[in-house]
Amino acid sequence: MTERIPTRLIETLSPTPLRLTPSQAGGAIHTRSFSGRFRNLRLYGAGFLFLLFFGTAWLDWGGRQAVLWDLSAHRFYIFGATFWPQDFILLSALLIICAFGLFAITVVAGRIWCGYTCPQSVWTWVFMWAEKTLEGDRNQRIKLDAAPWNADKLLRRGAKHGLWLAVSLLTALTFVGYFTPIRPLATELFSLRLEGVAGFWIAFFALATYLNAGWMREKVCVHMCPYARFQSVMFDDNTLLVAYDAARGEGRGPRRKGSDPRAQGLGDCIDCTLCVQVCPTGIDIRDGLQIDCIGCAACVDACDTVMDKMGYARGLVGYRSQRQLEGGRTRLLRPRLVGYAGVLLVMIGAFVWALQIRPLVSLDVSKDRGLFRENAIGQVENIYTLKIINKTQQARRYRLALAEPGPFELHAPRELALAPGEILDLPVSVALTDAAPASSSQGLRFAVTALDDPGLRSEAGSTFTAPLQR
Ligand code: SF4
Ligand code: SF4
């Protein structure tokens, strides 16, 4: 007993290879909704990232916003730690580590970052969900597009754009809230009192989100994203990419469920084009690997559903390597990957070490422009300005001294009290106790040491200038 394939699976899209994707041809892409394990994976991953992004901005830690890049105070707070402009080398190192991590993941699984966690993709999926909720699934949206303007179309379109704008505004508020304390920012925004620089950036990021995720979508991935352009150089024969198993799938064509496709000269692809209909970039994965493919695996889920219904094995479209497609086995451990992983481990180790030894008190010295002067008791004297930063979260007392006094005498308070995060600019003078200096320019070092923790110490050097003949 044979059974026809449900007609809704056999849409009348052209089965011939598409030379221009709708995106490339400038047409709108109406994706069909689908379910499956990769969609669930993306849903959980994106949900977690969304929570992280929107939730963290509202968290408090130690009486202040937990994560805040305070531009006006030149400080970056991340939970209990405070980073200063002098620590930005650490933040740069962190970015380099993330980039290397991304390279390593790309070697293993191609554009998996693009399909699952890239903000452009995540926000686009959210906007597509809003579109589907308010305008219906693929066929209803195609009909709505073609329909003349009437009250229903106006209402649906208006609601969709309203929801897109609301998500965009919240996104922008949250993003700017990582640079300006978010609570007062939100109060000003929702009471329509927001102006100035923060107002400009919220409007800018809201517009960028609305345009990128609502209107430009896959065009950003295909035409604008620089990462899409160069990541293919990281691929090798063992990189897992979403691919169609042409040897198994061809020749494609409709058939009755339960019939023997081989007897009809057919492969496992029933040519239902569902894989094309769910693709957010509008491509046909059966045409081979394409730069437009963001590796989201929507086509894998769609095709697996079809295979289940047909009683065929899953995986006609799936993650596989070039080597696998040619009949071999994917090698996970390979020199390039081991190299990336090794460098990554070394970098993470160095980063953790640098974090551990990061000085939590900082001392900078700048010498006064005047070369020297004579003080009231006839000693040669140089003037300096010390900049001391207490980078800890506690109020602390520090001892100030010359590291090796030698012939010098420091004229400054011996003890300093600094509040958490306080920056102290302190003018001091150093006098020469020798009547006849050995050189016209000698080095000297200042030191600050926490009274309650001698390990909390910083030194900085400068020079002392004196006339040789007096
Ligand atoms: S690859 Fe799968 S989803 Fe795509 S047309 Fe063939 S059977 Fe349908
Ligand atoms: S071809 Fe498949 S994996 Fe690639 S973008 Fe389209 S749906 Fe996603």
- Burial of residue 295 (number of CB atoms within 10 Å: 0-12, 13-18, 19+): buried
The protein residue whose alpha carbon is closest to atom 6 in ligand 2 is 279
Comparison of pLDDT for 239 and 437, the residue scoring more? 239
For ligand 1, is residue 173 a contact (CB within 6 Å)? Answer: no
Determine the 3-state secondary structure of 162 from DSSP: helix
Question: What is the position in ligand 1's atom list of the atom closest to the CA of 273?
Answer: 5
Find the mean pLDDT for residues 393-417.
92
**Half-sphere exposure of residue 417, counting CA atoms within 13 Å on the CB side?**
1
pLDDT value, residue 22? 56
pLDDT value, residue 166? 97
Question: What is the position in ligand 2's atom list of the atom closest to the CA of 284?
Answer: 1
Which of 241, 254, 305 lies closest to 111 in space, CA to CA?
Answer: 241
The per-residue pLDDT for range 189-234, each reduced to its tens digit, is 999 888 788 999 999 999 999 999 999 998 898 888 888 777 778 8
- Quote the crossing angle between the two packed helices 151-177 and 37-56, to the nearest 10°: 60
Choose the residue to mutate in 272, 277, 283, 314 for probing ligand 1, maximizing ligand atoms within 8 Å of C-beta: 272
Q: Which two tokens stand for residue 102?
A: 């991304």
Q: What is the pTM of this model?
A: 0.79
Mean pLDDT of the chain: 88
> CA 294, CA 229: separation in Å to the nearest integer?
12
For ligand 2, is residue 279 a contact (CB within 6 Å)? Answer: yes
Choose the residue to mutate in 35, 38, 121, 279 for probing ligand 2, maximizing ligand atoms within 8 Å of C-beta: 279
Cβ neighbours around 303 below 10 Å, total? 30
Which of 366, 280, 261 lies closest to 2 in space, CA to CA?
Answer: 261
CA–centroid distance, 87 to ligand 2, in Å, is 41
pLDDT value, residue 470? 55
pLDDT value, residue 464? 92
For ligand 1, is residue 109 a contact (CB within 6 Å)? Answer: no
The protein residue whose alpha carbon is closest to atom 1 in ligand 1 is 269
Comparison of pLDDT for 253 and 75, the residue scoring more? 253
Cβ neighbours around 102 below 10 Å, total? 16
The per-residue pLDDT for range 347-361, each reduced to its tens digit, is 999 999 998 888 889
For ligand 2, is residue 281 a contact (CB within 6 Å)? Answer: yes
Residues 6+ apart with CB under 8 A from 406: 444
The protein residue whose alpha carbon is closest to atom 5 in ligand 2 is 293
Using a pLDDT cut of 70, give the percent of the chain over it.
Answer: 94
Comparison of pLDDT for 371 and 78, the residue scoring more? 78
pLDDT value, residue 7? 35
pLDDT at 415 over 90: yes
CA–centroid distance, 316 to ligand 1, in Å, is 8
The protein residue whose alpha carbon is closest to atom 8 in ligand 1 is 272
Comparison of pLDDT for 160 and 339, the residue scoring more? 160
371 band by pLDDT with thresholds 50, 70 and 90: confident
The per-residue pLDDT for range 110-126, each reduced to its tens digit, is 888 999 999 999 999 99
Q: What is the DSSP letter of 3?
A: B
Q: Radius of gyration over alpha carbons of the chain, in Å?
A: 32
CA–centroid distance, 129 to ligand 2, in Å, is 17
378 band by pLDDT with thresholds 50, 70 and 90: confident
The per-residue pLDDT for range 244-298, each reduced to its tens digit, is 999 999 989 999 888 899 999 999 999 999 999 999 999 999 998 888 899 999 9
**Residues making up the chain, counted from first to last:** 470
